[in-house]
Amino acid sequence: MSFIGRPNPEFAPAYAKYYFDRTLGQDDLLLALENNLNETEAFIAGLPEEKADFQYADEKWTLKGVILHFIETERIFQYRALRFSRKDKTALDGFDEDWYARHNNTDQRSLEDLRTEFMDVRKASISLFKGMTGAMLDSIGTANNTPNTPRNLGWIMVGHVIHHCNIIKERYLVDADENF
């Protein structure tokens, strides 16, 4: 299997470059997914429960909402990767992340629960990609009116989680007075 290889921005939405850039210096998709799993699991485990429902500004998601966002986004990207790897040419719709956030159930969730769910979802992503050949990883499909590939989606998954963990560090793990 050919998991060595960077993403191909030619077959990716414009926003993907930002996420690809979060993964620079890495070229093995499976290793990147596994390392990011371990780093993110430890990061979530170390988050203070008293910050779980913190919002750094009005209309922003809670810390738990951010974590659930990257979990749900990964699930959607898994589905896209599966469809594209199977040469399914059906164009897939996009999704509205804010709509999902308004209709989630983070009030009833703990950080530990979300940590476990993230681990389960990421392990499922790794299993999905492990079952793909190089040709499957580079199969082109369309979602949200833009071409993409499973390989690109895997790299976006890693970069997306890195991005949101950085947002949590910068905006959620500071005292409110420090923001002014």
Q: In this predicted structure, what is the pLDDT of residue 180?
A: 32
Measured CA to CA, the distance from residue 4 to residue 42 in angstroms comes to 25
Measured CA to CA, the distance from residue 108 to residue 46 in angstroms comes to 20
Instruction: Evaluate if residue 151 carries a pLDDT over 50.
Output: yes
| pLDDT, tens digit, 9 for 90 and up, residues 103-121 | 999 999 999 999 999 999 9
User: Alpha carbon of 41 to those of 25, 59, 113, 145, 175: distances in Å?
Assistant: 21, 27, 11, 33, 23
Q: Which domains does the chain have, with CATH numbers?
A: 9-179 (1.20.120.450)
| pLDDT, tens digit, 9 for 90 and up, residues 17-50 | 999 999 999 999 999 999 999 999 999 999 999 9
Q: In this predicted structure, what is the pLDDT of residue 2?
A: 72
Q: Work out whether the CA dihedral 130, 135, 137, 143 comes out positive or negative.
A: negative
Give the residue-averaged pLDDT of 56-83.
97
Mean of the per-residue pLDDT values of the chain: 95
Measured CA to CA, the distance from residue 166 to residue 23 in angstroms comes to 13
Instruction: Evaluate if residue 7 carries a pLDDT over 90.
Output: yes
pTM of the complete model beyond 0.85: yes
Distance, first Cα to last Cα, the chain: 51
DSSP category for residue 47 = S
Q: In this predicted structure, what is the pLDDT of residue 176?
A: 47
